[in-house]
Structure 1
Amino acid sequence: MKYPQPPARSATPSAQELVHNDGRPVPAVFELESPQFLGDEDIPFERYTSEAFYELEMERMWTRTWQWACREEHIPEPGDFYVYEIGRHSVLIVRGNDSRIRGFVNSCLHRGTKFRSGGSDGGFDEIRCPFHGWTWGLDGGLKRVPYDWDAPHVSQRDFSLPRVSLECWGGFVFVNLDPDAPPLNAYMAPMPEHMENFDLAGRFVELHIEKELHCNWKAAKEAFIENYHTQETHPQLLYGSDDEGTQYDVFNDHVSRFFCAFGVSSPSIDPPPTEQQLVDMMLVGDRSVLGDTVIVGEGESARIVMARVLRAQLGEKYQVDLSRFTDTEMIDVSQYSLFPNMLLFPQLSLPMVYRFRPLGDAADRTLFELLILRPAPEGGPRPPAARPVRLTERESFTTVAGFDPVLGEVYDQDTGNLRAQQEGFRAARKPGETLLNYQEVRVRLLHQTLDRYLRASEPAL
């Protein structure tokens, strides 16, 4: 349901106004605005704590949605495999001898044993059960049953491995447990159109961090889809990004966006920082490329200087031509949410993708993943995907080799709130959370889309 009145907006300059002062025209996709008012009712806390609600999600939502499972570079050669799990559901993703990628239910048709454990990857010539040795080809066809004289009722025709829906986009491999799933491009529109200039298929996984969290998966995702928390949780970031001017767009049930200009300070900072101070803050996350110092000349804009330096130095380090990218595409934060659990940052500075999943099969445990996707060298071999670094709840992002420790502190601040919030859900006497109408609209959208899946007869649009 869409409500008629538009949401209130801050009186401060918007992200649109700020980026139009740049040295290059703003791409059309970043001139789009799609504000929506989706209501102001409270969201019940039991949606984050109830095991019954979690079971309903497992049954009706996770089995019917497209989910990013891995990158194509995780399985580059025939026989390479990757196991993606969501709660109790497990998918074995395999690249066949014909180079096609297929997804199978990760359970032997003999007595149910998983072929490979959750989170594993590697390579094999055939799919073989570790219990009794029943064997399938990489295309899922039954090849061998030991002592088959005792299994006359097992036919090759009827014992192919059950497949899941699988499609690739932008170098990502997506799976959907629903055999009648809608086409991926229709499900994720307008994201493919918005990403056309970024060549996500031409990127590689430079860093992969996994973080265990004591909270519901929705609470974990919601912590990252609004900028409202910056003024309290990350006050240091107010000196280089405009929290209050952030733009929030709702495109449809599955896709939303926030767009935040970098290289400008929050209106709450008085006196405002100098252009040099703005650039110093913008170095967060890219120090491995730029070093600790970028100098802003007399009369120069921090935004234009940072975009220019990034084009040159990122291009040199990764052996790619970045001249076609505008200032906005280089430095600003455009974060796209794909329902249910993916967040994608396509820009060249801090080019990240997040994923949020129930950890194990529990309503109050989450695995948060952060991947950095850098441009692969043009005309050269693609670097192998980085192995994941696993952090427990109490381990700091600042300990991860190759990750800017200043940025690591920001993620420690984000994830440090989540146990207290999960415990507060249970302690509350007020039955639900009250959301802001504009800045937290993406939180509300997540719940409204989830409800459409839980009411199984009503498809999401």
Structure 2
Amino acid sequence: MNSNDQGMPFTPEIDADSPLPDIGRERIIASERFDSPAFRDKEWSRVFRRVWNMGPREEEIRSPGDFVTHELGRESFIFIRDQNEKLRCFFNVCQHRGNQLIPDAKCGNRRFLKCQFHAWAWNIDGTIKAVPDAHTFPGLKNGLPCGELDLTEVRIDTWGGWIWFNIDGEAPPLLEFLGVIPEHLNPYKMQDMRLYEYKSFQWECNWKAGADAFNESYHFRGIHPQMLKWSEARASIELLGEHSRMINRYGTTSPPHMNEKELFPELKQWLSFYGMDPEAYEGRPEDVRLAKQKYAREMQHDTHYPYVHLRDDQLSDVYHYFVFPNVVFNTFAEGINVFRHRPHETDPNKMYYDLLLLAHIPPDHDVQFEYKKFTTPVKYGEIFDNPQPKIITEVMQQDADNLQYVQAGIRSEGFKGMYLGDQELRVRHFHNMIDKYMGG
């Protein structure tokens, strides 16, 4: 990769002229993989238990005793920093009778972990601390055993400011699993970003239907026609081992809105979001992105944003990375919109969509938000603690509202399977990877 004047390698571009790989042309038979309990159970054991899953941000667990609970499918996990400031992850389950240790808190601080059922307690490093009336247990008459009653620990590692966990403990090292992703995203300095919004939404579809919706931009013309006024629908695509990426140009127009003379309101909103005056812009609508690039480049040495480490196109465009099996990094120069698609604990026709918004925020700037989980439909323009631009919340609303109909349709006897084009290459690649793990 080429380097900038700071010596840091640039994120590589995608060669738009390179032919796309042929990874299959047959229809992807949909129904069983999207609604079968048997497929869901096999998926849990062969996919989610075997990969590296993304958990909380490190910044959420700064001091000894700080914890975050995280749910994935049928399981709940406790991420905690122990008394020696080591990050740990445990299954959220008491070793006495199986009660959840922390059933009702998303985060907080604990000096020890105590079960509310029979008051058994554990130290924050997972070792057993206390058993009421221990002398009444035949196996404990000589004291608490070393190891046998400790919490079940889960393998973890960190990258990008995130804590990642591997349930079966057998995955390759995290950086090996991620492949080129860390190298690609390093110039954006995700580890230095701060979380400023975190919401979860229950959607009436399988988690893979949610992932599919964000793995292509071919749907812009259909469900997001307004996006054609402020972005390029035709993305450049690249497969990255088990993962993939696409790049869309933002601050421009797509057919049929090319060669217009007046700025669309959507482009004005886009400029305003970045602190620019849309009334001062004098160029063509499709060249707005160039003005954003110039604006950012002129301030690159006087800002906390990592503009100096990025190419011009990265100052305006979205670099969209999909980390198998369920994480999206929608990456911009100023921050990253992170999407995480989690399977529902019991119903393969439902899922959880986590939206975690990161940004480069000055250390002296206070950020306030409250985690919320929504299990019924919401109006996305009204639920954020830190209001988001309408051009973004409108797109979210359209995706969320439509996925229930996708789920209903792919379950139909009349649906013959997904018939995919080149712009949906990442969808095919994703399902190929699912099949690879399911077969193994």
Q: TM-score, normalised by structure 2?
A: 0.88
Equivalences for 1:389-400 in 2 at 5 Å? 389-400=372-383
Deviation (angstroms), 1:141: 1.2
Say whether the 8 Å CA contact 2:305–2:333 is kept in structure 1.
no
The equivalent of 2:4 in structure 1 is none
The equivalent of 1:125 in structure 2 is 111
Equivalences for 1:6-25 in 2 at 5 Å? none
- SS of corresponding position for 1:424: helix
- Matching of residue 273 in structure 1 with residue 260 in structure 2: yes
- SS of corresponding position for 1:178: coil
Instruction: Give, in whole Å, the separation in 2 of the partners of 1:55 and 1:299.
Output: 53
The equivalent of 2:23 in structure 1 is 38
Q: Alpha carbons of 1:390 and 1:89: their partners in 2 closer, same or farther (altered >3 Å)? A: closer
The equivalent of 1:213 in structure 2 is 203
The equivalent of 1:166 in structure 2 is 156
Deviation (angstroms), 1:391: 3.7
Aligned partner letter, 1:89: E
Task: Say which of 277, 296, 299 aligns to 2:281.
Answer: 296
Task: Say which of 233, 248, 252 aligns to 2:241.
Answer: 252
Say whether the 8 Å CA contact 2:335–2:360 is kept in structure 1.
no
- SS of corresponding position for 1:30: coil
Instruction: Give, in whole Å, the separation in 1 of the partners of 2:414 and 2:57.
Output: 44
The equivalent of 1:451 in structure 2 is 435
Instruction: Give, in whole Å, the separation in 1 of the partners of 2:280 and 2:271.
Output: 15
Equivalences for 1:215-234 in 2 at 5 Å? 215-234=205-224
Q: Pairwise CA RMSD of aligned residues?
A: 2.6
The equivalent of 1:139 in structure 2 is 125
Q: Alpha carbons of 1:315 and 1:139: their partners in 2 closer, same or farther (altered >3 Å)? A: farther
Q: Alpha carbons of 1:299 and 1:129: their partners in 2 closer, same or farther (altered >3 Å)? A: closer
Residue range with higher mean Cα deviation, 426-435 or 168-177: 426-435
- Matching of residue 83 in structure 1 with residue 83 in structure 2: no
Q: Alpha carbons of 1:285 and 1:165: their partners in 2 closer, same or farther (altered >3 Å)? A: farther
The equivalent of 1:115 in structure 2 is 101
Say whether the 8 Å CA contact 1:64–1:176 is kept in structure 2.
yes
Consecutive unaligned residues of structure 2, counting only runs of 5 or more, are 1-8
Q: Deviations over 1:59-103 (max 9, x none)?
A: 221111111111111212210111111111121111112221111
Q: Deviations over 1:9-41 (max 9, x none)?
A: xxxxxxxxxxxxxxxxx9451245673221011
Q: Deviations over 1:263-285 (max 9, x none)?
A: 3322x2255234x627x534556
The equivalent of 1:21 in structure 2 is none
- Matching of residue 195 in structure 1 with residue 185 in structure 2: yes
Q: Alpha carbons of 1:342 and 1:239: their partners in 2 closer, same or farther (altered >3 Å)? A: same
Say whether the 8 Å CA contact 2:199–2:372 is kept in structure 1.
yes
Consecutive unaligned residues of structure 1, counting only runs of 5 or more, are 1-25, 457-461
Say whether the 8 Å CA contact 1:351–1:372 is kept in structure 2.
yes
Instruction: Give, in whole Å, the separation in 2 of the partners of 1:31 and 1:431.
Output: 33
Q: Alpha carbons of 1:74 and 1:43: their partners in 2 closer, same or farther (altered >3 Å)? A: same
Q: Deviations over 1:294-316 (max 9, x none)?
A: 63245894222113435678998
- SS of corresponding position for 1:442: helix
Q: Alpha carbons of 1:119 and 1:146: their partners in 2 closer, same or farther (altered >3 Å)? A: closer
The equivalent of 2:249 in structure 1 is 261
Q: Alpha carbons of 1:453 and 1:283: their partners in 2 closer, same or farther (altered >3 Å)? A: farther
Q: Alpha carbons of 1:193 and 1:414: their partners in 2 closer, same or farther (altered >3 Å)? A: same
Instruction: Give, in whole Å, the separation in 1 of the partners of 2:159 and 2:111.
Output: 26
Say whether the 8 Å CA contact 2:409–2:415 is kept in structure 1.
no
Instruction: Give, in whole Å, the separation in 2 of the partners of 1:368 and 1:87.
Output: 12
- SS of corresponding position for 1:303: helix
Deviation (angstroms), 1:124: 0.3
Q: Alpha carbons of 1:299 and 1:83: their partners in 2 closer, same or farther (altered >3 Å)? A: closer
Instruction: Give, in whole Å, the separation in 2 of the partners of 1:258 and 1:320.
Output: 22
Aligned partner letter, 1:43: I
Instruction: Give, in whole Å, the separation in 2 of the partners of 1:269 and 1:167.
Output: 47
Instruction: Give, in whole Å, the separation in 2 of the partners of 1:354 and 1:258.
Output: 15
Between the aligned residues of both structures, percent identity stands at: 27
Instruction: Give, in whole Å, the separation in 1 of the partners of 2:121 and 2:339.
Output: 35
Q: Deviations over 1:206-234 (max 9, x none)?
A: 22232221000000111111010001111
Q: TM-score, normalised by structure 1?
A: 0.84
Instruction: Give, in whole Å, the separation in 1 of the partners of 2:128 and 2:301.
Output: 48
- SS of corresponding position for 1:353: strand
Q: Alpha carbons of 1:92 and 1:299: their partners in 2 closer, same or farther (altered >3 Å)? A: closer
Q: Alpha carbons of 1:271 and 1:265: their partners in 2 closer, same or farther (altered >3 Å)? A: closer
Task: Say which of 363, 380, 393 aligns to 2:348.
Answer: 363
Q: Deviations over 1:164-218 (max 9, x none)?
A: 1111101011111112221110001110110111111100112223222100000
Say whether the 8 Å CA contact 2:271–2:292 is kept in structure 1.
no
Number of residue pairs the alignment of both structures matches: 422
Q: Alpha carbons of 1:287 and 1:124: their partners in 2 closer, same or farther (altered >3 Å)? A: farther
The equivalent of 2:6 in structure 1 is none
Instruction: Give, in whole Å, the separation in 1 of the partners of 2:431 and 2:343.
Output: 16
- Matching of residue 66 in structure 1 with residue 37 in structure 2: no
Instruction: Give, in whole Å, the separation in 2 of the partners of 1:299 and 1:419.
Output: 38
Instruction: Give, in whole Å, the separation in 1 of the partners of 2:65 and 2:301.
Output: 34
Q: Alpha carbons of 1:243 and 1:210: their partners in 2 closer, same or farther (altered >3 Å)? A: same
Instruction: Give, in whole Å, the separation in 1 of the partners of 2:300 and 2:350.
Output: 37
Deviation (angstroms), 1:371: 1.7
